[in-house]
Amino acid sequence: MASEYPPSLQSCLSLLVLFLETAFILIFYFFVSYEVPSSLEYFHNYSYSAFQDVNVMVVFGFGFFLTFLKRYRLSSVGFTLLITALGVQWALIVEGFLFYFSSGKVNINLDSILRGTLSITAVHISAGALLGKVNPVQLTCMAMMEVTAFAVDRWIITDILKVESHVSMMHVHIFGAYFGLVVSGWFCPPLLKNKFEKEKSGRLSDLFSMIGTLFLWMFWPTFNSVLLSDDVEKRKAIYNTYYAIAVSAVTAFALSAASNRNGKFDMVHVRTATLAGGVALGFSAGTISHPCVAMTLGLLASTIAVLWSRCVQMHWNPALKIHDTCGVHYTFGLPGLLGGIAHVILAVYNNWDNLSMEGYSILIEVGALSFTVVMALGTGFFAGFLLTCKLWKAPPVSKYFDDQAYWEFPNLAVGF
Amino acid sequence: MRIKLPILAIFLEVVTIVLFGVFVRYDTQNNTLDFQDVHVMIFVGFGFLMTFLKKYGFSSVGINLLIAAFGLQWGTLLQGFWHMHQGEIKVNIKSMINADFSTAALLISFGAVLGKTSPVQMLIMALMEITIFACNEHVVVEILRATDIGASMTIHMFGAYFGLMVARFLYRPGLKIGHVNESSSYHSDLFAMVGTLFLWLFWPSFNSAIAETEGAQHRAIINTYFSLAACVLTVFAFSSLLDPRGKLDMVHIQNATLAGGVAVGSCADLNIAPFGAMLIGSCAGIISVVGFKYLTPFFASVLKIQDTCGVHNLHGLPGLLGGLAGIIAAAVQEAFSVLSPFLPRFFC
């Protein structure tokens, strides 16, 4: 079993990627041009540094966040870069055609690149659930499908259900998490029920993963506020996210120690539950006007994350035959749902007096939320089915969670 | 080194402080340029990019810090001498960015000789290289008025070929079959990725930092972004294609993915349309991977140049490509202003 070689990806990977890049260049040649910067004021308001923050989060933050497996670190970082580069170009094309296709041309600017980068988050979250179990060819295909599915989902939510664009983008965590979970259902051979030796984190790999977590943690206020156009809302979103994510960090430490028999911290919780507050604040960051509400949300999100990973996950995942390597369900999925529900509750509370007037739009929010979940589950199921196809040369189970299947190692690198 | 390094370093610092005292004054006009991004690239990006050697990580980051910190002071002075007003050098954010640029050339050369020099030698090299760099930059940008916004030529090509010639003189026949320490380990590769990602993320800032108008800055950011994105794809494809077992090589991912930013540098602010930037990036990625695969061994065996970091493939060749692309783009733009009424719609 151990001598089983993974299939060579030489022709498969290079042909697919080169084909995609050629296709992108051709599509860009025919349809895409710069937006003529009509007013430079726009460029000023629309700060480049906020775009950079998000970019750092998505490439650097997620890349290192996923390096916690001790033998799969090069792949985590490398494939994150690949998927981002590929996904943003594809997202620009798909979103351009769905949203901004005016007069046979797609105009791009920093704003559209930013939206593309934000929607790639969904792919990274799904890749977290599948971490170590799929090869780069499968990841590339999944990225293409998921970006398309999420763009369609957003288009339906914003154009038909008339939900705000900012809110629809914050569905990204929920979409990514449930899409990834369903796909992971297709890659869960019986062997995986017990933890693999390779599927563990080491001291150093946890440290590398913390680099990613810290970058995500630091820049999350930008993530939640970047799409808001109103200045007051933007500032509120930054404050709220800042406090919520601080509370969730403290809570994660407290509950991690409390739920451990020896009262020690568990790196899994420190890595993941600290971020739950930021995820939960995504929907309503700009509308909450008391820091205490945001902080309560952060507390709840972190509590759910720790408790789920501690108590529920080991019963829930085998029962549903899913295998979630990175724990995206409790890091992104559940806090995202909590945020969505809290958003609805806050809307009801704020509009209590004229509920009959606003009730319809609140119902729409609920509908959009459930639509995203259904869409993620449906398209994820379909995508997972396609990914099991033999054509993609999936790695054998014995080569799961192993860098050696994909990377050239000089002298069988030391310290591996 | 106990005596030489402190004496040299303190001597250089005293000289610099005296020269600053005599010549340098603050500029009163303020401009809002993104300075931090370039600074992060120089110190974190280049520093960690070179930590890939398994036993040379401390020196890579440490000497990088030392020579960059000295280089940017020296660069401020040398570049300032070309723009003196009444015997004074005015410094502002833009001169800080330009000083950082001059250290970029130095750090590229450092990559070529990585692991083969002492800090003392590196300080001397910094002194000389930045002096020549400032003269060369003045000739290219001020006298010849070449279009080189992201400095494909003046920084990347200059730094690479300077470093290669230095490496030629440091050649030791004993190292023909390679040195036992000249390889990477699992962790050092991962540390190098920290540098790569920071460079990759902030390269749009590097190419747009000194753009004159905001329209040009906006174009430079978007062009560089797409060039880098396209470059990543072709690098992964070719890295896998050129390996007999189809495996990816970390060296390519760490270095060649940045070639797109180098190559698009000289024409980033021109109206080359996103697809043009993507074409340049794709070509740069391919050239760079092929260079790492075939050219570096050739250089080491035939030309006796041991290029530790492969700067020729990351900065030299893509810089050359960028120079060519700059010529073509400038020519097209020239032709375009004449012919624009007759061209099909997607050029406009």
Q: What is the mean pLDDT of residues A297-317?
A: 90
DSSP string, B236-292: HHHHHHTSTT--EEHHHHHHGGGHHHHHHGGGTTS--HHHHHHHHHHHHHHHHHHII
SS3 B219: helix
Please compute, for residue B181, the number of CA atoms within 13 A of its CA located in the half-sphere on the CB side: 9
Strand partners, A408: B249
Taking the CA of residue A360 and the nearest CA in chain B, the distance in Å comes to: 41
Taking the CA of residue A125 and the nearest CA in chain B, the distance in Å comes to: 19
pLDDT number for residue B25: 85
CB within 8 Å: B274 and A14: no
Sequence-distant (6+) residues with CB within 8 A of A296 are: none
ipTM of the complex: 0.92
pLDDT number for residue A36: 62
Q: What is the mean pLDDT of residues A8-26?
A: 89
pLDDT number for residue B307: 87
Pick from B239, B185, B125: nearest CA to A81: B239
Local confidence band at B33 (pLDDT 50, 70, 90 cut-offs)? low
Supply A238's token pair.
Answer: 């930054």
As a residue count, chain B comes to 348
Candidates A110, A410, A413; nearest CB to B218: A110
Local confidence band at B30 (pLDDT 50, 70, 90 cut-offs)? low
The yes-or-no verdict on residue A415 having pLDDT over 60 is no
Supply A317's token pair.
Answer: 């995942």
More confidently predicted of A194 and A85: A85
Pick from A85, A91, A80, A83: nearest CA to A27: A91
Pick from B31, B346, B187: nearest CA to A27: B346
Local confidence band at B348 (pLDDT 50, 70, 90 cut-offs)? very low
Q: How many helices and strands in chain A, by DSSP H and E?
A: 17, 3
More confidently predicted of B178 and B270: B270
pLDDT in tens, A89-104: 999 999 888 887 767 7
CB within 8 Å: B249 and A408: yes
With the CA atoms of B195, B196, B198 and B199 taken in that order, what torsion angle do they form, in degrees rounded to the nearest 10? Answer: 110
pLDDT in tens, A242-263: 999 999 999 999 999 998 889 8
CB within 8 Å: A108 and B274: yes
Candidates B184, B222, B233; nearest CB to A108: B222
CA distance A96 to A116: 10
pLDDT number for residue B245: 86
The yes-or-no verdict on residue A46 having pLDDT over 80 is no
Supply A121's token pair.
Answer: 């988050």
Q: Chain A: residue nearest B191 by CA? A: A208
pLDDT number for residue A2: 45
CA distance A220 to A217: 5
Contact list, A81 vs chain B (CB under 8 Å): 197, 200, 232, 253, 257
Bridge-based pairing of strands A407-408 and B24-26 is: unpaired
The yes-or-no verdict on residue B224 having pLDDT over 70 is yes
Q: State which H helix or E strand residue A358 sits in.
A: helix A355-387
Taking the CA of residue A104 and the nearest CA in chain B, the distance in Å comes to: 10
Contact list, B230 vs chain A (CB under 8 Å): 21, 24-25, 85, 89
CB within 8 Å: B214 and A40: yes
Taking the CA of residue A135 and the nearest CA in chain B, the distance in Å comes to: 11
More confidently predicted of A391 and B158: B158
Taking the CA of residue A11 and the nearest CA in chain B, the distance in Å comes to: 7
The yes-or-no verdict on residue A20 having pLDDT over 90 is yes
Q: Chain B: residue nearest A83 by CA? A: B233
Q: What is the mean pLDDT of residues A389-408?
A: 83
Give burial (CB, 10 Å; 0-12/13-18/19+) of A100. middle
Candidates A13, A33, A49; nearest CB to B237: A13
pLDDT number for residue B285: 96
Supply B140's token pair.
Answer: 């290219």
Q: Which amino acid is at B29?
A: Q
Backbone conformation region of residue B86, classed left if phi is above 0, alpha if psi is from -120 to 50, else beta: left
More confidently predicted of A230 and A330: A330
pLDDT number for residue B347: 44
Say if residues B84 and B19 touch (Cβ distance below 8 Å). no
The yes-or-no verdict on residue A64 having pLDDT over 60 is yes
Contact list, B269 vs chain A (CB under 8 Å): none
Supply A6's token pair.
Answer: 């993974």
CB within 8 Å: A110 and B221: yes
Contact list, B205 vs chain A (CB under 8 Å): 48, 52
Contact list, B240 vs chain A (CB under 8 Å): 9-10, 13-14
CA distance B35 to B204: 12
Taking the CA of residue A9 and the nearest CA in chain B, the distance in Å comes to: 5
Taking the CA of residue A86 and the nearest CA in chain B, the distance in Å comes to: 7
Q: Chain B: residue nearest A85 by CA? A: B229
Average of per-residue pLDDT values in chain A: 87
Average of per-residue pLDDT values in chain B: 88
Q: State which H helix or E strand residue A408 sits in.
A: strand A407-408
Sequence-distant (6+) residues with CB within 8 A of B126 are: B67, B70, B71, B74, B106
CB within 8 Å: A109 and B189: no
pLDDT in tens, B119-157: 999 999 999 999 999 999 888 888 887 777 777 888 899
CB within 8 Å: B185 and A33: no
Candidates B186, B201, B221; nearest CB to A415: B186
Taking the CA of residue B182 and the nearest CA in chain A, the distance in Å comes to: 10
Contact list, B236 vs chain A (CB under 8 Å): 13-14, 17, 82, 136
Other beta carbons less than 10 A from residue A321's beta carbon = 13
Q: Which amino acid is at A173?
A: H
CB within 8 Å: B273 and A34: yes
pLDDT number for residue B339: 67
- What is the reported pTM? 0.93
Share of chain A above pLDDT 70, in %: 92
Sequence-distant (6+) residues with CB within 8 A of A389 are: none
Pick from A295, A272, A286: nearest CA to A217: A272
pLDDT number for residue A412: 59
pLDDT number for residue A122: 95
pLDDT number for residue B65: 95
Pick from A122, A124, A131: nearest CA to A176: A122
Lowest mean pLDDT among A146-160, B279-293, B334-348: B334-348
Candidates B200, B202, B225; nearest CB to A113: B225
Q: How far is CA A329 from the centre of its chain?
A: 11
Q: How far is CA B9 from the centre of its chain?
A: 25
What are the C-alpha distances in Å from B139 to residues B90, B112, B133? Answer: 20, 25, 10
Burial A350-372 (b: 16+ CB within 10 A, else e): eeeeeeeeeeeebebbeebbebb
Q: What is the mean pLDDT of residues A117-141?
A: 93
